[in-house]
Structure 1
C-alpha cells in the first residue's frame, strides 16, 4: 500500500517506452557471420545455435510486445544475412526483415533500427575486418541497400552499437573476434569505424532527410576506489584515462570531427556533429582499485565491490546514481536529445530486476525535471538471449525462454508485468 511519503513519478505524454534486442543474439542460425564461425571454432565458447528463433517466431513476439504495451522496439539487421557473400544480397533475407518491420508497424510499435551490433559477415572478417579500409565502403554499400529497401520503417536509426566495446574487446583484450592484442590495429579499426559512421549518417540523411540517426554508446560509471596516498592518486589518474578510452575519446571525435589522439591525427569528413540524438547504454558502476596482485592488468582491480553494493548475475555493480552523472555529461557534451537505448540486468530469479528498473527510471525522471531532453527508454532486453561469451547462462529478458525447450516457450516474468504497468500509467510510485 502506498504511504503518505510515496510519490508518483509521472513521465511526459510523449516519452517513448520500449525494449531492445540484437539480431545475432535472438535470431539464430546466423551462419555466414564471423561470430558463428568463431563459436564453432572455439571449444570453450558457447554456440548461439537457433538462439530463441526470433527469425521464424517474430510475429509471436510482436504480439507479446503489443500485449505488454511496448511502444517501441529496438531491433538489429545482420549484415551477414543480407550480404552472405561479397556483393551478393540475399533477397530472401531482406524480405524476411521487411516482414518483421511491417509486423511491428501493424502492431503500432515504433522501430529503432540498429545497422551494426558487433557482428560482421565472415567474408569481411577474412579480408581483415575493420583494419581493411575497403570495409568502410562495403559497409556503406550495405547501409545504402538497407535504406533503399527498408527505409520506410525506422523511426530511429542507430549506425553502430557500442563501438568502443567491440574495438577494445576485439583488438586490445582479445576477448571477442578477431581476438587481437594490437594497439595499431585498434587505432586503424577505430578510424575506419568512425568513417563508417560518418558515411552512414550522411547516406541515411541523403535518402531520408527527416531521419533521426545516432550511435548507441556504452557509458559505464567509473569511480576511483579512494585508497589513500599515492595509490589513490594512481586510481584517480587511471579513472580519467579509462573514461577517456571507453567513451570520451570517441565522443570528442564525433562532436568535433577531429580524431582524438587515441585514434590518430586529422579530421574525418562528415564526422563533426554527425548525430541527431545520443543513445546511452548504461548498466553498472565500475570501481578502480589499486592492487599489486593485478600487475598484469595495469595494477588495477576492477572486480572489487564496495561494501553494501548489490550486484547482478554478471557481477556488475547496481548503481542507478551513475546514470544521472552520465546523462549530465552527455547532455553537456552534445546538447542533443537522449534515448536510453539499453538498460537492464542479468537476474535469473527476477528478484532484483524490479528495483533495478525503477531505480534507474527514477534517475531519468529527475533528469527530466531538471530539463534534460530524455525522450525514451529501451529496456535490455525484451527476451532472454545469447549473451556473447556467456552464452545463454545470463538472463536479461523481461520474457523468459529456455533455449533447451524444443517449443521455446515465451513466459513473461513478473518484472515484465511491472514494466507494462509503468508504461500504461506513464510512471510509477516511488517511496
Structure 2
C-alpha cells in the first residue's frame, strides 16, 4: 500500500514538474508587438499630441475588390459613434427581451428587473432623433447602427425569404437611415450584432448549416432596400463572443445550465464552437459576395473583438495561449480574402487565472470588468498589420468600438485621450487605420449585464422619461472630433482630474461579482458594488507590467517609451 502511494505521489510530482516545464517553454509565445521606442511629448502649452485632421493618402483609401479604386466614403480619417438594435430599440420582441423576462423565477439578465422601463431600452425605434441629434452635435461623420434580423424576417423562411419580410419594419429602417444621412453622417450598418431571430434560436441557430442560406438571403434583402444609404457594411459583430456565450457557457439567450464537461467539449476539434464559427465564416463570405454583387463599390467588413490576454501566474500560460489562438486570428485568417476592412473592437486587457478573468488589486478596470490598458490598442493594431500586410490589397482597419463603462465619468476622459494617442502612434508606425468609432452615445442595455455598466458619453435618466444629460467626456470627444487634434492640456487635465480623486481615495461603481480568489466569471450584479480607483499609471507608454508578465515582456527593456519633456 505504501509503495503504491509513493508511486502515485511520484507520478503526480512528475506531472506537475512537466506542466511547469511546459509553461516555461510556452513563455516566449506570449510576446506581442512593442510600443514605439521613443514617444516624444511636447513641452507645454497647447502643443498637439495627435493630429487626425490631415487627409489620408490615396493609398490609404478603401480599395474596392472590383475596381481597385478608392471608395466614395471619403479620404479623411473619420470619427464616429456606435450602437446596436438590441441595446437601444424599443418595440422589439427579440430573444433578449424574452431572456431578460426570465422563467421559473430565474432572471439571467442582471440590473434589469430593478430598473425603470427596461424593455423600452433607449426608444431608438420610435424616437431615433434623440440619439442622432446627440451624435450630430458631437460632430461625428459616421454613425454605426444595426438592423435587427428578427424584426425584418418574422418567421423561418422555409418557403422563401420574401414571403416573411415585414415591409413596415423595412420602411421604418429606411426612415432611420435617411435621418442619419439628413444629420450629415455616413452610415455604418451591422447585419448581425449578438441577436439571433427567435425562430432561428428554436432550431439551434448557427449550429445548423441552413442558417447560412437564411443569412445570405437576409443580406440580399438588406442590400436591396438599404444599399443606397450604406457607406460601410459590417456583416458580423464579434461572432466568437456570441458563439462562446450562447453555445458554450449558455449565459446568453436562450440560456441553460451546461455541465463543465459540455462547456469544455464545446471547444473540442469537432465541438459546437468550431461548427458555429465555421457556419458564420461561410455566411460572411456569402454575404460579402451578395453585397459586392449588388454594388461593386460596396465596402464590406466585420467587427472583431480583440483584447490583450495575459496570464496572472505561470500556470495560466497554456490557457492564455489557447484563448489567444481561439480568439485572435483564427476567424480573420479564414475570411481575410472576403474583407475590405477589418473592424477592431478593443476595450482592454484580460488577465486570466485558470479560465476566469482576474481582478488584480492595483489594476484599473471598467465597471464591466475590462482591464484598462491603452498600450494594448497599439499592440493589437501593429500585430494584426504585421500578420496581414502582405495581403493584396492591404487589409485596412477601422476601430469599430472602443469605450469604457464609467458612470462617474472620471476614468473615461483619460481613457479616451490615451487610446487616441495609442491609435495615432500605430498610424505613425504605418498601420492603415481609416477611422475611430466610440462606444457609445448613451448608457444602454449591455447584454446579460443589463443596465449596470454605463458606457455612454451621455447619461439617460430612466426615472425621468429617459431624459439625456451629457457627461464631461461628451464635450471632450466633441472637441477632438471637431478639431481632429489631441492637445497636451487635454491629456494633463483629464489625468490630473483623475489623480486628484485617486489621492482622496475615490471610489466608483463596479458591476462584476468575484469569487474568493478574485476571479470574475460570468456573473454581473443587479446593484453595483464599489471599487477604489487604482493608483497605477496606465497612460499610453507609461504602463508597466508586474511579476510574471514583466518577465515575459522583458524583451521590451531596450524599447521602453521615454517621455521627452
TM range (shorter): 0.7 to 0.9
With CA pairs under 8 Å and 6+ residues apart, which has the higher RCO, 1 or 2?
2
8 Å contact from structure 1 (residues 51, 403) kept in 2 = no
- Stretch deviating more after TM superposition (409-418 or 43-52): 43-52
| 8 Å CA contact retained: 2:134, 2:441 | no
Residue in 1 that maps onto 2:348: 284
Residues 392, 403 of structure 1: 8 Å contact kept: no
Contact 1:387/1:394 (CA < 8 Å) preserved in 2? Answer: yes
Q: How does 1:26-425 map to 2 (within 5 A)?
A: 26-31=88-93, 33-42=94-103, 43-44=106-107, 45=109, 46=112, 48-87=118-157, 88-179=164-255, 181=263, 183=266, 184-225=271-312, 227=313, 232=314, 234-255=315-336, 273-289=337-353, 299-305=354-360, 307=362, 309-335=363-389, 336-405=395-464, 407-425=465-483
Q: 2:360, 2:47 → 1: CA distance?
A: 30
Q: How much does 1:121 deviate?
A: 1.3
Instruction: Give the corresponding residue for 1:8.
Output: 49
Distance across 2 between alignment mates of 1:408 and 1:318: 29
Report the RMSD for the aligned CA atoms in angstroms. 1.7
1:21 — aligned with what? 83
- 312-321 vs 55-64, greater mean Cα deviation: 55-64
- The question of whether the paired residues in 2 share the 8 Å contact of 1:159 and 1:197 is answered with yes
CA contact (8 A) 2:142 2:185 kept: yes
Structure 1's unaligned 5+ residue stretches are 256-272, 290-298
Q: What is the rounded CA distance, in whole Å, between the counterparts of 1:223 and 1:62 in structure 2?
A: 38
Check conservation: 1:305, 1:317, Cα contact below 8 A: no
- The alignment of Structure 1 onto Structure 2 pairs a total of residues equal to 395
Q: 1:300 to 1:129 in 2, by over 3 A?
A: closer
CA distance in 2, matches of 1:365, 1:401: 31
What is the match of residue 500 of structure 2? none
TM-score, with normalisation over the residues of structure 2?
A: 0.67
Distance 2:98 2:208 in 1: 20
Q: Is the 8 A contact 1:79 1:142 kept in 2?
A: yes
Bigger CA radius of gyration: 2
Q: Tell me by how many angstroms 1:158 deviates.
A: 0.3
Q: Tell me if the contact between 2:49 and 2:421 (Cα under 8 Å) persists in the aligned partners.
A: no
> What are the Cα deviations for residues 245-285 of structure 1, in whole angstroms up to 9, with x where unaligned?
12322122223xxxxxxxxxxxxxxxxx1111010000011
Q: Deviations over 1:80-127 (max 9, x none)?
A: 111122331111111111001101111110110000001011111112
Looking at structure 2, the residues matched to 5 and 56 of structure 1 have their Cα atoms a distance apart, in angstroms, of 43
Question: Which stretch of structure 1 is more off in the superposition, 147-156 or 182-191?
Answer: 182-191
